[in-house]
Chain A
Amino acid sequence: MDQNTRNDLLQLFREKLNSAMTYYLETCTRCGICTEACHVYASMGQVKHISAYRHEIVRRIYKKYFKARGKVWPSVGEAKELNETALEELYESAYSCTGCRRCMVYCPFGIDTQMIMSIAKLLLIGAHSEPEILTLLADTSIEKGKSLDLFKESFMEGVKKLEKDVVKKWKMEAGETAIPMDVVGADLLFVALAGAHSIIPTAAVFNAAGEHWTLSFFEAVNFGAFVGDPTRTQLILDRILNEAKRLKVKEVCICECGTAFRVMKQLAADQPFKVSSITEVHARYIKSGRIKLDPSKLNGPVTYHDPCQIARNGGVFDEPRYILKHLTNDFREMSPEPKYNWCCGGGGGLVALGEDTLDFRMKSARVKADQIKTTGVTTLVTACENCHTQLNNLNDHYQLGVNVKFLTSMVADALMQ
């Protein structure tokens, strides 16, 4: 690595050094309390997957270039040069961490490994060593935001074709639009994923609740967050923020996508609208009697997998359980408790990387498979697209014999006309 590249990368590193990041890099005592926190370590038993070990890969570079000690006495903290080998280590560390932040619950100081890994991911972007597919997907999303007019008509036509499937789930009055779009003054803007499975059931529930809603032109998923690029993350988010402001909505509701929900909730905190997850909205409809669910539609014991970005990192724990109480009499909680729920193993962009990460995802999420198996359920419910894909993969790989379902689909299927 030449000196100019190294300087550029160190400048990127420096930009990440706000007060919180500096606390995290200065403080770890390597006490090892976080040892059992990471599902990858718990499943595979390799020290390199312990959270403190992951931080140390970034911290050693910090010690070398950002602490006087790195020049005076580098060996005391094993300060390390930023070079090609370091980049390889950063890659392995960053892309084996799903950003579930379970280790943050264990750490006596509350060190945020995901945040430290964001330095690793940014350095990889700077060195053009990140997974290209994630950057490509992020750029496609950004491009879509720039040229809405080019795809608007074809998108609306495509959505129109889905309306008959929505009506199958919830009959509507003549003249009503099953999937409203571009409605100025709507109460709620729904941001779905690219795919009919994300739009049809939700549209049926909104219509059943009599919601004054509109569908976003943009997909919720934020590949910028997966790849750890703050600029791209913001650009992708801005498309939705601008749309919400243009339509003057009161609430932006994010579909079943953990990262999209957390990014929106955090980065849109000061916007003139409320941010909710679809789970929160559905629970609200049930509480206020706007929708009624038929509990007889679901047979057999059911458990719920808390998506890390929605539950531990987003605060939505009670709502999915409240909804499930209206769908089944045999709900079984996983052990350990939701705060300590094991990550599915697919976060942090790993599912988006597809087959390339499949083997690792299966090996590293053995504890998740065991956790599901112990419940003895036949239906496994979740509220995140990534988790759903990963849980389905786990179901096949470990032959769990469960039916993996989206919570929204279950609500839509149980709607009482």
Chain B
Amino acid sequence: MDALYNFVLIYMVYFSVAVFLVGTTLRLVKIFRKPKQATSLQIYPEKRAKWLGAIYDTFLFPSARKHKPVLWVFLIVFHACLLLLIIGHLELFEEFKIFQLIPHEVFLGNGFLGLIFCVTLLYFLFRRLLSPVRELSVPEDYYILILLFLIAIFGSQMDWARSWYGYEEMVVGDYRTYLLNLLTLKPEVPYNVLIAGHSFMLVVHVFFANLFLIFFPFSQSMHSFLSLPMNKLRRG
């Protein structure tokens, strides 16, 4: 079992992070180095603040708010949770003062953020099962949502699982040791992480996260990077 845990928590992590970083970088470089569109792709009426407008369109999705307000609420909550969950994971490496502007315990949200995130994913998933979005969808749309759901449900419920042991097992310090070991290329999973009763949840969480990272550069998740330049094209 330890070998399996080590594989998922160490070697597979290195592999998936490498695929994610190298794959994303190479794909972006390749795309950005392609010839520019010679003609304008702007939509009118023209607004003066083109960059500001593009940033607004990229991060607040005004067109979604106007045409699909319920979807917009879920989209905003989903992306806000995603951002906070990324911050939460960064805090597992080290405590950043800037994130403590609003004082909180690590992990941020104590699992509730992840649960809200899961609810938004379920909404996206069930929405895809209804016409006409069902006819528009391709398998990858479902795979990504299911993958994110599995990552988030096992990740967020680790906090709840800790309550089985009076919050004594797999404390923040253990995560920090594990992650710093990975960062400093000393591939070793701390003993506390391996023996905890709910270790399997961490392994499953990391396993699905690895799959997501591997798939990311080749999927429509690349919109994370391409949305801004695209919105800029529309703004002119």
Q: In the complex, which residue of chain B has the Cβ closest to the Cβ of A266? A: B39
* Distance to closest chain A CB from B39 (angstroms): 4
Pair B136/A47 contact, Cβ less than 8 Å: yes
A110 at the interface (CB under 8 A from B): yes
User: Which segment, of A25-33, A185-193, A346-354, A405-413, faces chain B?
Assistant: A25-33
Pair A19/B132 contact, Cβ less than 8 Å: no
Residues of B within 8 A of A305 (CB): none
Task: List residues 175-225 of chain A with CB under 8 A from any CB of chain B.
Answer: none
Residues of B within 8 A of A76 (CB): 138-140, 143
* Distance to closest chain B CB from A404 (angstroms): 24
Known: A22-B34, A104-B234, A110-B231. A29 touches B44 (CB 8 A): no
Taking a contact as CB atoms closer than 8 A, the residue among A53, A69, A104, A312 that contacts B218 in the complex is A69
B interface footprint on A65-94 (CB within 8 Å = 1, 0 otherwise): 001110000011110000000000000000
Task: List residues 70-95 of chain B with CB under 8 A from any CB of chain A.
Answer: 71
A343 at the interface (CB under 8 A from B): no
Known: A30-B133, A32-B136, A47-B132. A105 touches B218 (CB 8 A): no
Residues of B within 8 A of A393 (CB): none
Taking a contact as CB atoms closer than 8 A, the residue among A32, A53, A108, A317 that contacts B44 in the complex is A317
Residues of B within 8 A of A31 (CB): 64, 71, 133
Complexed CA–CA distance, A317 and B165 (Å): 67
A339 at the interface (CB under 8 A from B): yes
Pair A110/B223 contact, Cβ less than 8 Å: no
Q: How large is the interface on B (under 10, 10 to 19, 20 to 34, 35 or more residues)?
A: 35 or more
Residues of B within 8 A of A35 (CB): 132-133
* Distance to closest chain A CB from B213 (angstroms): 16
Taking a contact as CB atoms closer than 8 A, the residue among B33, B64, B218, B231 that contacts A67 in the complex is B218
Q: How large is the interface on A (under 10, 10 to 19, 20 to 34, 35 or more residues)?
A: 35 or more
Pair B44/A311 contact, Cβ less than 8 Å: yes
Taking a contact as CB atoms closer than 8 A, the residue among B31, B35, B139 that contacts A23 in the complex is B31
Pair A77/B139 contact, Cβ less than 8 Å: yes
* Distance to closest chain A CB from B132 (angstroms): 5
* Distance to closest chain A CB from B13 (angstroms): 22
Residues of B within 8 A of A115 (CB): 41
B interface footprint on A318-344 (CB within 8 Å = 1, 0 otherwise): 000000000000000000001100000
Residues of B within 8 A of A339 (CB): 43-45
Pair A78/B139 contact, Cβ less than 8 Å: yes
B141 at the interface (CB under 8 A from A): yes
Q: In the complex, which residue of chain A has the Cβ closest to the Cβ of B39? A: A266
Residues of A within 8 A of B231 (CB): 109-110
A313 at the interface (CB under 8 A from B): yes
Q: In the complex, which residue of chain A has the Cβ closest to the Cβ of B215? A: A76
Complexed CA–CA distance, A31 and B42 (Å): 22
Residues of A within 8 A of B222 (CB): 26-27
A112 at the interface (CB under 8 A from B): yes
Q: In the complex, which residue of chain A has the Cβ closest to the Cβ of B45? A: A317
Residues of B within 8 A of A172 (CB): none
Q: In the complex, which residue of chain A has the Cβ closest to the Cβ of B233? A: A20
Q: A27-B223, A107-B63 are in contact. List 10 more A-B contacts (CB 8 A).
A: A21-B37, A23-B31, A24-B230, A31-B133, A32-B132, A32-B133, A33-B68, A35-B133, A50-B132, A269-B39
Of the A-B pairs whose beta carbons lie under 8 Å apart in the complex, a sample of 19, sorted by A's number, is A20-B233, A24-B230, A26-B223, A27-B226, A27-B227, A30-B138, A32-B68, A33-B67, A37-B67, A68-B218, A78-B139, A104-B234, A106-B63, A108-B57, A109-B226, A110-B231, A110-B233, A115-B41, A313-B43
